[in-house]
Chain A
Amino acid sequence: MRAGQGYRGYISSRTFGGERAPQHIQNLVVRSYCNELGIPFRLSATEVAMPGTYIMLDQMLEEIDTVAGLVFYSIQQLPEDEAHRARITSVVLGAGREIHFAVERLLLKTPSDELRINDLLGVSAILPYTLKVDECQWKFEDA
């Protein structure tokens, strides 16, 4: 770990993965995660509200050499597009850095971590098209 450089937080001002968390709660979760792991936390960057826009993340990637890594609030903040995610991963891993995801307690540090996260996001993207618990019960009652 590059303790002197710290880990930059990354929170969002828009919904992601169908969920919304207030920014101060996102910051609490990120800070608590860093404390638990004993990794030095630097202030969070807050992504802008416009959907599909990653201005702040792009800037953090530009400055990736100045930090030990990034700490996202959630993997759901990653772009939906897998190729876009691959470019982010390439920049971070190429610089010898890592990304933590506080809610999921996941670490992206190796190509196998990338596969794990792609599986999670791939399945997550399909779940809205599957039945919910209450819809199943409704169907049973109706049968």
Chain B
Amino acid sequence: MSPLDRRQFLGRSAALLGAGAVGLGVGAEVASGSQDAAPSAAEATERVLADELAARQPFEGYHQQGILTPRQAQAAFVALDAIAPRRNELIEALKELSYRAGALTQGGSVATIEIDDPPPDSGLLGGYNAPDGLTVTIAFGASLFDGRYGLAAARPPGLRAMPAFAKDGLEPDRCHGDVLLQICAEHRDTVVHTMRELLRTTAGVLTPRWRLDGFQSTKRGPTPRSSTRNLFGFRDGTANPDPSDAKLMERLVWVKPGAGEPAWTAGGTYQVVRTIRMHVEFWDRVGMFEQTNMIGRDRVTGAPLGGTHEFEDPRYDLDPHGRRIPLSAHIRLANPRTPATEDQRILRRPYNYDRGLDEAGNLDQGLLFVAFNQDVARQFETIQKRLEAEEMADYITPVGGGYYFAPRAAAGSGDWVGSGMFGGPSALGGASRPQMQTVR
């Protein structure tokens, strides 16, 4: 193709693009061009907005989205490392990341700027990026608070690199990271598009370290409240704290002002991510009785052993010796349901993962364990150490993940997720505090 041909070709494309990009919604930028096809494009856009793709989660506010938000069907987790040599470059990249994430979650028409330039959006979702329930949750790993960017004083005190627990088989290239993106939406293409756009936004400053895709099991009843199943076939999440209980979330999830934390961490939460390989072929060879004893629940109904429905109290007080539910059963160790263990509970938001085969031809599947908690040591780690005694541990191998801190949300337009750790607007509940020393 000669340069001239190429130019003509682009010219024709411009006309088509213009037609397709007629905008509704936030931040629409429409290229000039023929408007002949406008009515049908508008119709198409309206159709998109009216249907299941229209759900929109607020990005700005006090708490970040994607934490209490009901789990969407699809997810991607991407950990990034900061490679920028200067603090200002990092700040700019985090700003851009936050702005772009915010715009994508709210949806809007795809902008075209210069016809000679690569389009600013990959166009995977067409001329209009429907929100599709998209949330982008941005969190930071302990390594970001080392000496590189002058952030040591801002480090949330409960944040450290995830240690290897007794039975972990952690692979270093699947662990940790300076920044974690949790991208969730109702459809896979929305997640893929978002990941691609965000990686493009931060290229050169934040470089990908590991990533993993997740999916949600379909709700199959018998009631709308019934928990979905994990890849061992058991219902998972039965005893999860209710995210709509704001008082409970204050006790279990959100970091409170004061309490030895730097001011900027208030309204944030500690996020634990664990890639837990489930040896599903091994599990599928286990007798039903042994499976239920390892979990502590009936596989079909999800009822605690000896019970009849999923949400029944397992009444450990009536079974102190584990005659009904073994003392090593997963549900018993995970949540003993005593007054002393009440404040150890965590808010789980897990996904399944399924990423091909291992060398021996076995499926590489498992649980993308995600938990939010106010205090990792008091909550997640206490539970995790108790679970070292569970027999199910023989059928799983944690291979990756990390600890992260998900700060409060962008306070409003102009603010961005993480500004507080640099002394920005969200350092103190939205008040502008430009100096670092005010942070601690």
Do A and B belong to a common assembly?
no
On A, residues with C-beta under 8 Å from B are none
On B, residues with C-beta under 8 Å from A are none
